[in-house]
Amino acid sequence: MRLNELDERIVRALAEDARRSYADIGAEVGLSAPAVKRRVDRLREQGAITGFTVRVDPAVLGWETEGFVEMYCRHKTSPEDIRRGLARYPEVASASTVTGDADAIVQVFASDMRHFERVLERIAGEPFVERTRSVLVLSPLLRRYGSGTPA
Amino acid sequence: MRLNELDERIVRALAEDARRSYADIGAEVGLSAPAVKRRVDRLREQGAITGFTVRVDPAVLGWETEGFVEMYCRHKTSPEDIRRGLARYPEVASASTVTGDADAIVQVFASDMRHFERVLERIAGEPFVERTRSVLVLSPLLRRYGSGTPA
DNA sequence: CGTGAAAAACTAGAGTG
DNA sequence: CACTCTAGTTTTTCACG
């Protein structure tokens, strides 16, 4: 599915500021407020827009420690198994299956090193996990588009 | 800076749905709508909340190909050099310096494989880059908290 | 899609503990 | 100082053309 130009401009406006009024966005793209709302509603129904969220400074919420965990899984582990297993961790901000040696890359936020270690141990103990390899984030350089901050 | 419990619950509510009304959030945390608004305003002033954004299915916006690029940099490359160098790429959603062999991990979104390859070549050609190693995302399993989608 | 009216939400100000 | 209450304003929402 692709969006037409109008939908894309609306999404772009919302990405910059999701609390702008429909009338305001409409003035920018050349539509009335109800027309903008109708399109946003439709985009939500179609799953193009999956929600609205807030961009937060991670440190302020106490998520001081961030890392990436490469997961090596047992044979015959399905992506859905991994997803279900990881969904239970609030510390997991994102996870994807990937090409290369590892099966998945998991982005983890923790309050401190001890917390990170504890999460890592629990993940490594999941039945579908063979082993893990992780790197810690030293400093986040760039974090655009509201990228991954736990709540 | 740390937040008190009330602020944290408000932020958590907004992270789930940034368009919930103040009154609605207030009912959950035990405050009136104006009280919630005042706290949100203050959090924005303090920089704890940096904005509101929309969660979008990347594929719908034409970002079909995602990958992680490990960067190995020349000696004496500062984090700030890396940041400045990568900030010019709209395809770069996030970048962090990390522990381990590589110096930085960069998350890249591209429209397709050819586009991804082109971006990778340009990044590898940056003067501060020695070599890169990249993995492609096969399927995104989990993407919470508005995690990294280009606009 | 736009218009216009009703309902809801926002927000500034005043008053209270 | 932070809250609630109140009231005016703006925004959202929906029916209709």
pLDDT tens string A60-72: 878 899 999 999 9
Say whether residue B29 is in contact with chain A using an 8 A CB cutoff.
no
Q: Where are the beta strands (DSSP E) in chain A?
A: 49-56, 65-73, 92-98, 104-110, 129-143
A39 touches strand C (CB under 7 A): yes
CB contact under 8 A, B8 and A61: yes
Q: Which of A60, A86, A104 sits opposite B3 (nearest CB)?
A: A60
β-strand partners of A134: A69
pLDDT tens string A84-110: 999 999 899 899 999 999 999 999 999
Question: Which backbone phi and psi does A68 adopt, to 5 degrees?
Answer: -110, 130
Amino acid at A114: R
A46 contacts on B by Cβ (under 8 Å): 60
CB contact under 8 A, B96 and A18: no
Task: Judge contact between A60 and B2, C-beta under 8 A.
Answer: yes
A84's tokens: 């279900």
A10 touches strand C (CB under 7 A): no
The pLDDT of residue B143 is: 80
The pLDDT of residue A59 is: 84
Give me the helices (H) in chain B, please: 5-16, 22-29, 33-46, 79-87, 113-124
Say whether residue A123 is in contact with chain B using an 8 A CB cutoff.
no
Which residues 65-104 in chain B show a CB within 8 A of chain A?
A: 66-68, 79, 82-83, 86-87, 92-100, 102, 104
B123 touches strand D (CB under 7 A): no
Inform me whether the pLDDT recorded for A50 exceeds 80.
yes
- Give the torsion sign (CA, A15, A17, A22, A25): negative
Q: Which of B11, B97, B149 sits opposite A151 (nearest CB)?
A: B11
What burial letters (b/e) apply to A83-96, b meaning 16+ CB within 10 Å? bebbeebebbbbbb
Give the alpha-carbon dihedral of A104, A105, A111, A114, to 10 degrees.
70
pTM: 0.79
Residue A51: count of CB within 10 angstroms of its CB: 16
**pLDDT string in tens for chain B (151-residue length):** 556 899 999 999 999 999 999 999 999 999 999 999 999 999 999 999 999 999 988 888 788 999 999 999 999 999 999 999 999 998 999 999 999 999 999 999 999 999 999 999 999 999 999 999 999 999 999 887 655 555 5
Of the candidates B62, B70, B64, the one whose C-alpha atom is nearest the C-alpha of residue B135 is: B70
Distances (CA, A) of B56 to A82, A145, B22, B27, B143: 22, 10, 23, 28, 10
Task: Judge contact between B114 and B71, C-beta under 8 A.
Answer: no
Range 34-63, chain A: CB under 7 Å to any strand D atom: 34, 37
Residue A101: count of CB within 10 angstroms of its CB: 9
Question: Which backbone phi and psi does B140 adopt, to 5 degrees?
Answer: -75, 120
Of the candidates B31, B8, B33, the one whose C-alpha atom is nearest the C-alpha of residue B20 is: B33
- Give the torsion sign (CA, B76, B77, B79, B80): positive
The pLDDT of residue B22 is: 98
